[in-house]
Copies of this chain bind each other. A is one copy, B any other.
Amino acid sequence: MPTTLELQELLRGAALRVTRPRVAVLTAVHALPHADTDSIIGAVRRELPDVSHQAVYDCLHALTAARLVRRIQPSGSVARYESRVGDNHHHVICRSCGLIADVDCAIGHAPCLTASDDHGFVVDEAEVIYWGLCADCSTARSS
């Protein structure tokens, strides 16, 4: 969990102005992995009650563009954000309760980046989502 100072350095390093809402949004994303926008707005307002939802959307877009956070959006879910960036990890998602967990790729560092036929595409990222049931839901269902 980075300190406020470290987060400010992150922002400066990305050539972004350091504003209270941005620090609060960054803090929230670090504190709540895979949170949706609503949860982030809630967390931000616990510190700065008067931040508009618009500001949170703007911050999230700016942070995403600067690669300080990553946006993920599994089918049937609203946008979610996470702070782990640049380490090429993937996600397991529970079909029943929506729980999301991180997984490091089984194949290696830059996994699956080779499609068998790339149709002329220049591929720069492979995103993998594993669908299934989390431990709790799977137990609940089989009993």
Contacts and interface: CB of A to CB of B under 8 A. Distances in A.
Interface string A59-78: 00000000000011111100
A17 B140 CA distance: 33
A129 interface: yes
A121 B107 contact: no
A47 interface: no
A119 B103 contact: yes
A134 interface: yes
A86 to B, nearest CB: 15
Contacts of A124: 131-133
Interface stretch (A33-41, A49-57, A109-117): A109-117
Given A124-B131, A131-B127, A132-B125, A92 B76 contact: no
Contacts of A72: 75
Nearest to A142: B122
A126 B128 contact: yes
A104 interface: yes
Nearest to A115: B103
A64 to B, nearest CB: 10
Given A73-B76, A92-B115, A117-B104, A130 B138 contact: no
A31 interface: no
Given A73-B76, A127-B128, A129-B126, A118 B104 contact: no
